[in-house]
Amino acid sequence: MVPFNILVAVCLAYVCLLFLVAFAAERRAERGQVGWLRSPIVYTLSLSIYCTAWTFYGAVGYAARSGLEFITIYLGPTLVLIGWWWVLRKLVRIGRNHRVTSIADLISARYGKSNALGVIVTVISVVAATPYIALQLQSVTLSFGVFASHTPEGWGMPDQGATALWVAGGLTLFTILFGTRNLDANERHHGVVMAIALEAVVKLVALLAVGVFTVWVVAGGVGDVMAKIDASPIADWPLQPGRWMGLTFVSAAAILTLPRMFQVMVVENSDERHLATASWAFPLYLLLMSLFVIPIAVVGLATLPEGANPDLFVLTLPLAVGQEKLAMLAFLGGFSSATSMVIVAAIALATMVSNHVVTPLWLSLRRGGARAPGDVRGLVLMSRRVSIAGILGLGYAYYALSGGSAALAAIGLISFVGVSQILPALIGGIFWRGGTGTGAALGLGTGFLVWLYALYLPSFGSGGLLSPSLLAEGPWGIGWLRPQALFGIATLDPLLHALFWSMVLNTAAYVMGSLLTFPGPIERMQGVAFVNVFDHDPVARGWSRGGAEAEDLLAMSQGILGAEEAQRFFQNAAEAQGKGGFLPDTTPDFIEALERRLGGAVGAATAHAMIAQFAVGAAVSAQDLMAVASEAQQILEYSTQLEAKSEELARTARQLGEANDKLTELSVQKDAFLSQISHELRTPMTSIRAFSEILMDPELPGEMQQKYASIIHEEAIRLTRLLDDLLDLSVLENRKVQLNMKVANLHDLINRAVQAASNTRPERVFTMHRDFPTEHMPVITDTDRLVQVFINLVSNARKYCDAERPSLTISVRQRRGRITVDFIDNGTGIPRKSQSLIFEKFSRLTDTARAGGAGLGLAICREIMVNLGGTIAYLPGQGGAAFRVTLPVRPERKDEAEAA
């Protein structure tokens, strides 16, 4: 017999393997080698989380009890998959266009980004998933128990509760490690998907191995098995038409609405074409999984002793004939089924809970709302981690409460009927423009309550949560309200009864609610965008110009997406508008794109609420509504073309306008500088002339001569420095500078700069924040020139930072062969209108006296950086003056540079 220790060791080794696979996949993805990580086969295999431990163990048990009826659970998904052209294709396209993070997000986004709907769907999903997760814990625990019960002594099985607790804890850890590494659900969980694909192979191989063994070793081949089937008690199963059709329907609904299926099918989908492969490959997987179910059940019933639990035949059959290795493989298969389901379900549900419950709650509770969001990222990740633990905790609690006794199939079906309640709102949402949020809320609420009352609560058994008298006679003795015989229909079995009434009332409430209410503007636009997703690019436009300031939006986005990501997004948007820097115009298109990007991280409703804080009152104009209501699509298309053209014109005009403004301002500055520089040149000249005249007096005492000569000397030096700067600048501008390339450590260069700059206003106490380890990196460049730039930036900070306790943060990063060095102080920063001017020659923001230079420093810095193949830019929205220096790790070769 397999000792317990070995069993546990095999489990642990298997989990370690999964860790390694997930880790390796994450590493590959990070290096950008997505390749086969995203092949259609991996996509199809990841869908196999539909086959949980319920399939692996439960299907055989189900078949032993009700014959071929088990197959309906796989026929429904088969029909949905081969009918992908109807629903799945549309769902996937919508999911990609709107960066949907979960099924709750989809429903909430479709019905006007209403968070209330998101909460309802989240609650339904969590309540429905709890028994399902409990089921997985139960099956793993039971399968451990199978090995335990055959051992005469030795390792006593601890108690089952403890096993379940260990399993739940381990799964929590794995899920948190790989499920919450990155925030944006659309960035996809490569590691998890890869691990799941591996598990899919293991469970298929395990079940096929047991099946082949059963048919050709235990029984005598196909003919013998066929004869055995007709002879066994299974053959007497009655085909109940209602159940046959009802279960096919509910399984088809469930594959669309189960949060975990939605996660792998829609959210993790990286290419629509994968769906075409999955449309036949996944049904094939299901077919293979069910192929040997009946033979195993029949042979199990015939060979195993009376009273053996048919739910565990997959394990007990090989054990009974002494095939321990096969049993071990089967055990791993069951373990895989359970773990992969729990991991994905926990990730999907945690995303929903954090996006629709925790984040909105937190935003509404804190003062100031999204205007000062700080680091939302940390909060969201933390809430996801806590939610994962919470959801697995709930599953464990259900397991502990229900005692883990009920047959596996029953629990799974209850869960299926629960999530099916989302179906009317989902299908209506993507096919019917008339569906409204109120209707969806009514439908979802009605269906959920009927399901709770008629199926979920009675599932705890009479005397559990509902009293026996209530079950038998109805509340207050009202007969037609009996939970399992609503409106007097007592002929259906409880499951079918609950399915029938919940779906009928749900759909009726949804349709009636939609017909009788009037949708809001955003809701109508989202409706059009979802229903007509294939016709054109999303037309829904919630924001018109005005209100939002790009700098505020950047500050907010940094809190959610992370500084680097947000800056890149803003920079790209600005570039697309034909502007430099980090602040694009807040056009409706830009705000729309930003909202979607944020939606990918925190869900549509939250993102909408956050943006709304900045663009208050600018939401929807009458014209937008007219456009949506209008039936004249052709006119719209024609006008889209016109719009594109006029947009291009507007962009050109904007660029011209900007250039003009800049020129005007520059010319003013230049005039000012010219008078300034003549002043600067004249002052020393005047004193030199005056003092040299005095020096001509032969009777001047010696020490006076000394003093005046040194004054003349100093003034001459000042003049020379000014002229040097001008000369330097002109050399740099003409690209005639000779660069002296050397290898150096960036850390040393920064040290040199900080050291050299410390004699600027040495009386001020200045705090430096640096992260030494990240600074150590080699760089090939003209070190003296680079240090010159650094010195300038540091001494500028020392000069101009007006904070009471001035501090300067220097942070260094390397990415794709380029180094960025940020210098961020905590002063008031540079006003928006001056940001585009500071790098121009002769510009100076404050009084000349304090600056003590000619206003050439930053202009020289910019020219140096251009010569070094890098850039220097002002970084807005950092809470102080911030400059970003970017330079290549090694200089680009001439020919490369020219080719580019």
Binding site for other proteins (CB under 8 A): 67-68, 71, 75, 78-86, 226-227, 229-230, 234-239, 241, 244-245, 248, 272-273, 276-277, 279-281, 283-284, 287, 291, 294, 534-536
- Nearest to other proteins of 493, 564 (CB atom): 493
Q: Across-strand partners of 742? A: 781
In the complex, the smallest distance separating the C-beta of residue 627 from other proteins, rounded to whole angstroms, is: 20
- Is residue 490 classed as helix, strand or coil in its secondary structure? coil
- Nearest to other proteins of 45, 486 (CB atom): 45
Tokens at residue 824, please? 């961020």
- Nearest to other proteins of 11, 91 (CB atom): 91
DSSP at 180: S
- Nearest to other proteins of 17, 284 (CB atom): 284
CB atoms within 10 A of CB 736: 9
- Nearest to other proteins of 80, 193 (CB atom): 80
Q: Can you give 289-336 as a three-state secondary structure string?
A: HHHCHHHHHHHHHHHCCCCCCHHHHHHHHHHHCCCHHHHHHHHHHHHH
| Cα separation values, 740 from 123, 541, 780, 857, Å | 66, 54, 10, 21
Tokens at residue 231, please? 């002879």
In the complex, the smallest distance separating the C-beta of residue 241 from other proteins, rounded to whole angstroms, is: 4
In the complex, the smallest distance separating the C-beta of residue 281 from other proteins, rounded to whole angstroms, is: 8
Phi-psi region of 517 (alpha: psi -120 to 50; beta: other; left: phi over 0): beta
- Nearest to other proteins of 287, 709 (CB atom): 287
- Nearest to other proteins of 251, 796 (CB atom): 251
Going 306 to 312 to 313 to 316, the CA torsion angle's sign is negative
Among candidate residues 554, 559, 553, 556, the one with its CA nearest the CA of residue 376:
559
Distance CA 565, CA 622 (A): 35
Residue length, the chain?
900
- Nearest to other proteins of 537, 763 (CB atom): 537
In the complex, the smallest distance separating the C-beta of residue 254 from other proteins, rounded to whole angstroms, is: 16
Q: Which helix (H) or strand (E) holds 770?
A: strand 767-770
**Pairing relation of β-strands 778-782 and 882-888?**
unpaired
In the complex, the smallest distance separating the C-beta of residue 72 from other proteins, rounded to whole angstroms, is: 8
Among candidate residues 178, 602, 95, 132, the one with its CA nearest the CA of residue 383:
602
- Nearest to other proteins of 81, 135 (CB atom): 81
CB 454 within 8 A of CB 516: no
Distance CA 135, CA 342 (A): 10
Distance CA 673, CA 684 (A): 17
- Nearest to other proteins of 42, 873 (CB atom): 42
Q: How far is CA 5 from the centre of its chain?
A: 39
Among candidate residues 374, 370, 365, 376, the one with its CA nearest the CA of residue 613:
370
- Nearest to other proteins of 85, 487 (CB atom): 85
In the complex, the smallest distance separating the C-beta of residue 276 from other proteins, rounded to whole angstroms, is: 4
Q: For residues 873, 876, 878 and 880, what is the CA-based torsion angle, rounded to 10 degrees?
A: 80
- Nearest to other proteins of 80, 426 (CB atom): 80
- Nearest to other proteins of 535, 647 (CB atom): 535
- Nearest to other proteins of 276, 681 (CB atom): 276
In the complex, the smallest distance separating the C-beta of residue 596 from other proteins, rounded to whole angstroms, is: 19
CB 782 within 8 A of CB 741: yes
- Nearest to other proteins of 285, 543 (CB atom): 285
Distance CA 139, CA 311 (A): 9
- Is residue 443 classed as helix, strand or coil in its secondary structure? helix
In the complex, the smallest distance separating the C-beta of residue 235 from other proteins, rounded to whole angstroms, is: 4
In the complex, the smallest distance separating the C-beta of residue 648 from other proteins, rounded to whole angstroms, is: 22
Going 874 to 877 to 881 to 884, the CA torsion angle's sign is negative
Q: Across-strand partners of 862? A: none
| Cα separation values, 264 from 274, 278, 311, Å | 12, 12, 27
**Pairing relation of β-strands 807-815 and 767-770?**
parallel
Tokens at residue 321, please? 């004939």
In sequence order, which residues have a C-beta less than 8 Å from that of residue 765 and are 6 or more positions away? 805, 806
- Nearest to other proteins of 12, 231 (CB atom): 231
Q: Across-strand partners of 466? A: 462
In sequence order, which residues have a C-beta less than 8 Å from that of residue 783 and are 6 or more positions away? 740, 742, 744, 749
